Amino acid sequence: MEITCLRVPQWEKYHELLHGFLGRRGGRSSGPYAGLNLSFRVGDDDHVVKDNMCDMKGAVGIHSGRVVTMTQVHGDHIVEIKDRNLKEAGEADGLLTEQSGIYLGVLTADCVPILFVVPAQKVIAAVHAGWRGTMTGIAAKAVKLLLEEHSVLPSEIEVALGPSIDACCYEIGEDVSRPLIEKWGDLAGSCIQTRDRRTYLHLRNLNQAILHRAGIPESQIFQIGPCTGCAQEDFFSYRREKKETGRQISLIGWHSQ
């Protein structure tokens, strides 16, 4: 099966690490969900989504272990996964684990999928950052949790921000720009553009700036892939399709020895 799976070149040296930002190519879904839709919550046929999940796991090389997802609610709650049999983590927008054989999944269609890896300790995290999660600082919260719960210094963390909607396509109103600027000041201001009396947000750049402020070196933060709003053949986009569309998955996990 032909799929879109973008990987971080700097992480290829971690041979036991499976990661990737998947797109919509491949899959069995049709209509507005056409392609590799992996969400059970958008109106697609559950049986088709299950088949898509099985096809995806085979294509990326998950032959054992669990893919764990969550009910994403645009908040900042992060759940640590310790149960190897768990498939659904409940309401949250971030997942964290130190267990091998658990593959953390984030579903998106414009929001920023953020993958974290601590190579020395084999700790991983995956975060879903829409504008609300960005405003509340979910990316920085993941960094804080890694320090508090696993004694991981920010300088030990590497992060990748996957395909998401960029400033070329993400028009926002004052209801979004004002709280972002109130919370993040110049960090947000530098990621907001005005063109033809319209306001646009570069969500990935803002999350990257937040991560850097949280202590992660710039050289350890990577942006991978295009704007989801522009790349119609490769990625689902909630904004482009006017709400009814599928969701692509971003994954990270250490293979079991």
The C-alpha atoms of residue 187 and residue 201 are separated, in whole angstroms, by: 12
| Domain-wise residue ranges, the chain | 5-165+219-254
Structure tokens at 99: 């267990």
List beta partners, residue 254: 17
**CATH superfamily of the 5-165+219-254 domain:** CNF1/YfiH-like putative cysteine hydrolases (3.60.140.10)
The C-alpha atoms of residue 9 and residue 1 are separated, in whole angstroms, by: 22
The pLDDT of residue 225: 98
Q: Which helix (H) or strand (E) holds 37?
A: none
Alpha-carbon distances, residue 62 vs 53, 71, 102, 191 (angstroms): 11, 22, 10, 37
Per the document, the length of the chain is 257
The pLDDT of residue 218: 98
Whether 233 and 88 have beta carbons less than 8 Å apart is answered as no
The C-alpha atoms of residue 239 and residue 234 are separated, in whole angstroms, by: 15
Predicted confidence (pLDDT) per residue in 186-227, tens digit:
999 999 999 999 999 999 999 999 999 999 999 999 999 999
The C-alpha atoms of residue 83 and residue 125 are separated, in whole angstroms, by: 15
Whether 53 and 67 have beta carbons less than 8 Å apart is answered as yes
Helices (H), the chain: 46-60, 131-136, 138-150, 174-184, 186-189, 203-213
Query: Is 90 exceeded by the pLDDT of residue 84?
Result: no
pTM attached to this predicted model? 0.98
Strand arrangement, sheet containing 192-195: 171-172, 198-201, 192-195
